[in-house]
């Protein structure tokens, strides 16, 4: 910037000096030529008079006197010539200086408006563009060269603006991709942890099934001997009631182990007509041993005449076991009585059976509702859930050509609505 400014000043100064010297030289040459011609004329006249004086034979005395007088006048004029020359030179210099300054000022303002001002504006524009404002455009049309320079500047600024825009878009795209990659990496790590946890649960389930199978034989033996003793013992025996309790509890344990074996045993799916109330009651028996079940009041509202649904009993039991388990986990206060409301209705218009499972637990936060059916998503504390329960429910209901919906409010409770297509046959409760 400093170099360009100095260069412009030097250019103006050089042009001005050249113009000034040119005009001065021209006017001095003109004055010199004029005075030279005058001196030559006077010298010629003096020579003529001198010749005439030297040759008196050609003229008379009177003529000689006139010529002497003329010679004196010429000499006087010749003596005054240097002063006249100096005065003429001074006058010429003054006129030359005036015209030179006038033309110099005119040239300066012309050069300033036509060249220097646009160049200064272009330099300022380049500084602004370099600072980041690529939207700047110039519109100088005073000369073809300046207009061309302005157009090139605008083209450069437009290219830079487009380039900056592309860089900004790419940066945003890369930032988004980085964020997505980071989320995917975190999700992958979480999925890996959940898979390990699910594998542990599967192992525990297999171990539990093995333990239940091993317990069946001794429990059957205990039950058999207890029943033999009861048949041989009188009812008024003080030990009769105690043995009766042993029989009842042994039967209960056997039922639990049998249900556990049935629930965990791998098998092929069989879609047969099933009764939803029986499926619900069976699932309740599987979870009634939970500690929190003691603080729960189960309310059943079944229609008197419900159609059968076609489905796999084992999978449908798993659906309701998962729902009941989730509901029990939502009951956090030990001294509070919670309600588990089970409703089964027939929608004759849609030809479906609708089952509602409602609880009065803590509810689900609104921001979590869109994610509850995603695999490994859980709001439970660490190591308290795999995040697969609702995902499995959703998959099972989809296989049964049904749908599952959820409504929930914080501190009010949650309601799951399961809709299954009806079978032709109806049952009467």
Q: What is the pLDDT along the chain (429 residues), one digit of tens a residue?
A: 444 455 555 556 666 666 666 666 666 666 566 656 666 665 665 555 555 445 444 445 555 555 556 555 555 554 545 555 556 556 666 666 676 777 777 777 776 666 667 777 777 777 777 777 777 777 666 656 666 777 777 777 777 778 878 888 888 888 888 888 888 888 788 777 767 756 665 666 667 667 777 788 888 888 888 889 888 888 888 888 888 888 888 887 887 777 666 656 665 778 899 999 999 998 888 887 776 667 788 999 998 888 999 999 888 998 998 898 888 887 777 767 888 899 999 999 999 999 999 998 888 888 888 878 777 677 665 545 556 678 888 888 988 999 999 998 888 889 999 999 998 555 554
The pTM score is 0.46
Residue-range domains of the chain with CATH = 2-131 (no CATH), 268-428 (3.30.565.10)
Q: Encode the chain in three state secondary structure.
A: CHHHHHHHHHHHHHHHHHHHHHHHHHHHHHHHHHHHHHHHHHHHHHHHHHHHHHCHHHCCHHHHHHHHHHHHHHHHHHHHHHHHHHHHHHHHHHHHHHHHHHHHHHHHHHHHHHHHHHHHHHHHHHHHHHCCCCCCCCCCCCCHHHHHHHHHHHHHHHHHHHHHHHHHHHHHHHHHHHHHHHHHHHHHHHHHHHHHHHHHHHHHHHHHHHHHHHHHHHHHHHHHHHHHHHHHCCCCCCCHHHHHHHHHHHHHHHHHHHHHHHHHCCCCCCCEEECHHHHHHHHHHHHCCCHHHHHEEEEEEECCEEEEEEECHHHHHHHHHHHHHHHHHCCCCCCCCEEEEEEEEEECCCCEEEEEEEECCCCCCHHHHHHCCCCCCCCCCCCCCCCCHHHHHHHHHHHCCCEEEEEEECCCEEEEEEEEEEEEEEEEC
């Amino acid at each position: 910037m400093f170099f360009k400014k100095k260069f412009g000043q030097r250019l103006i100064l050089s042009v001005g000096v050249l113009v000034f010297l040119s005009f001065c030289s021209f006017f001095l040459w003109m004055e010199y030529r004029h005075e030279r011609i005058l001196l030559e004329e006077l010298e010629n006249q003096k020579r003529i008079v001198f010749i005439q004086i030297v040759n008196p034979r050609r003229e008379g005395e009177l003529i000689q006197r006139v010529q002497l007088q003329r010679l004196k006048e010429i000499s006087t004029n010749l003596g005054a010539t240097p002063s006249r020359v100096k005065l003429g030179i001074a006058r010429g210099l003054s006129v030359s200086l005036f015209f030179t300054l006038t033309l110099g000022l005119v040239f300066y303002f012309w050069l300033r408006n036509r060249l220097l001002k646009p160049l200064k504006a272009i330099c300022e524009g380049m500084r602004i563009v370099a600072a980041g404002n690529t939207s700047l455009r110039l519109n100088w049309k005073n000369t073809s060269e300046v207009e061309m320079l302005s157009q090139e500047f605008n083209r450069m600024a437009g290219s830079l603006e487009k380039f900056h825009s592309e860089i900004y878009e790419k940066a945003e795209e890369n930032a988004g991709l980085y964020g997505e990659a980071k989320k995917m990496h975190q999700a992958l790590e979480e999925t890996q942890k959940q898979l390990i946890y699910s594998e542990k649960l599967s192992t525990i389930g297999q171990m539990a099934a093995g333990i239940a199978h091993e317990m069946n034989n001794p429990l059957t033996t205990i039950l058999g001997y207890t029943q033999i003793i009861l048949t041989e013992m009188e009812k008024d025996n003080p030990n009769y009631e105690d043995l009766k309790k042993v029989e009842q509890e042994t039967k209960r344990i056997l039922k639990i182990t049998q249900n556990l074996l049935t629930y965990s045993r791998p098998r092929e799916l069989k879609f047969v007509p099933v009764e939803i109330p029986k499926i619900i009651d069976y699932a309740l028996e599987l979870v009634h041993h939970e500690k929190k079940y003691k603080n729960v009041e189960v309310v059943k509202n079944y229609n008197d005449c419900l159609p059968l649904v076609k489905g796999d009993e084992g999978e449908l039991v798993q659906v309701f076991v998962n729902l009941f388990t989730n509901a029990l986990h939502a009951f956090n206060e030990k001294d509070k009585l919670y309600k588990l409301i089970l409703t089964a209705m027939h929608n004759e218009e849609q030809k479906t059976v609708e089952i509602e499972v409602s609880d009065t637990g803590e509810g689900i936060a609104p921001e979590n509702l869109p994610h509850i059916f995603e695999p490994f998503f859980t709001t439970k504390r660490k190591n308290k859930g795999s995040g697969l329960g609702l995902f499995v429910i959703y998959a099972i209901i989809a296989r049964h050509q049904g749908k599952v919906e959820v409504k929930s409010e914080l501190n009010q409770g949650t309601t799951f609505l399961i809709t299954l297509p009806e079978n032709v046959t109806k049952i009467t409760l």
